Structure 1
Amino acid sequence: MVEKYVADIKPLNDAVIGTKAHGTAEFINDGDVLHISIEMFDTPKNMQHWEHFHGFPDGKDAQVATMAQDINHDGVVDLPETEAVSGTTMVPFDAKPHEMNIPNDSYPVSDGQGHFKYEKDVSLADLKAQFKTVFGTDDLELDKRVIYVHGVPNELKLPASTGGNLNEKYDQHVTLPIATGKIVKAS
């Protein structure tokens, strides 16, 4: 049985970024394969954008972050501030989602107009096996997840209080959320 999930991806931190990144995501579960398609518009131009689904390993329903999550009131919702409502980073939409290797340099790159399209077919068996290793369950529960798109130019001045350093290798410019959307089951 084919299952389809979608997300309407809306801007986050657009007042700081200066652009309203937006797009759509589609996940089609077709037996042994998960087909992922994400198309984004008005992202920061000519740069790599990390993108993932986030959620709670215990199955709690994740929600998208809003400016209400700006708990330190610096005008930016950074990655650590999203965790209370969205959970943790789970599956990357990169060259090898099934490996769940979050920090890497194989994510999509936007063009001169801030557009990119990501399409990937992933073995569900491989993805679920790695998901179980990392999170203790092989149930992806897509309709309890949210998608985030990240990344702003290094030149963008961010408040010193902006967090997001992942493994001391990537700073807040790489991990700053620029758009987010709730994944829902399509009717």
Structure 2
Amino acid sequence: MTKYRADLTALNGDQIGTHAHGYVEFEHIANNLHITLEMFDTPANIQHWEHFHGFPNGQDANVPTLAQDSNHDGWIDLPETEAVSGTTMVPLDGAPHHMHIPNDNYPVANEDGYYSYQKDVPYDQLQAKFKEVFNDQDLQLDKRVVYIHGIPNDFELPVTVGGKLNDKYEQHVTLPIAAGKIKKIED
């Protein structure tokens, strides 16, 4: 068994009025990747996209800081994370091994801003799809960063916040609210 963990800490917490935090663990046993995630103090009663991000070339990804706020608006939006975290790679949704990122199959926080996610993923299928999409690269979990996204649609964002995906998913869906670097903790 190989075990990985990321401790997730708040991004944009002061701006949205809540400091989301939690953890995610990945346990790779034989042909199974068991994923466990718990989040606290997220915006309540909404769906939260969650993914791991990274660089397709295997470069080490890191959690953004205010240094990535390139337009100096006080927000770290999705496009600003790419310089240190790379691109969105694998969703933590109903079928991570399909790698279908924009969808409506992510966890929903309860009225207290809490939610949990558990999933057993067929490792060989995830690895094969990952190699197909990212030019024969391996998952390399310890080079990735996990992101939690999402704030209520009625929250007023500055026009400077980017991250809109097509006409269906606005910046409210993609705004990062927590992130953490994945580290190998057991081999």
TM-score interval, normalised by the smaller of the two chains:
over 0.9
Aligned residue-pair number:
186
Q: Which residue of 1 aligns with 2:95?
A: 96
Pairing 1:24–2:23 present:
yes
Within-5 A mapping of 1:51-90: 51-90=50-89
Counterpart of 1:165, as a letter, is K
CA contact (8 A) 2:11 2:178 kept: yes
Runs of 4+ aligned structure 1 residues displaced above 2 Å come to none
CA contact (8 A) 1:10 1:23 kept: yes
Over the matched positions of the two proteins, sequence identity in percent amounts to: 62
1:125-150 deviations in Å (ceiling 9; x for gaps):
11011101110125100000000000
CA contact (8 A) 1:129 1:138 kept: no
CA distance in 2, matches of 1:137, 1:118: 28
Q: Which moved more, 1:47-56 or 1:60-69?
A: 60-69
| 1:54 Cα deviation from its structure 2 partner | 0.1
CA distance in 1, matches of 2:172, 2:74: 15
Q: Which residue of 1 aligns with 2:165?
A: 166
Consecutive unaligned residues of structure 1, counting only runs of 5 or more, are none
CA distance in 2, matches of 1:165, 1:128: 28
Counterpart of 1:64, as a letter, is V
**Cα-Cα RMSD:** 0.8
Pairing 1:41–2:40 present:
yes
1:2-61 deviations in Å (ceiling 9; x for gaps):
000000100000011100000011000001000001100000000000000000010000
Q: Give the TM-score normalised by the residue count of structure 1.
A: 0.98
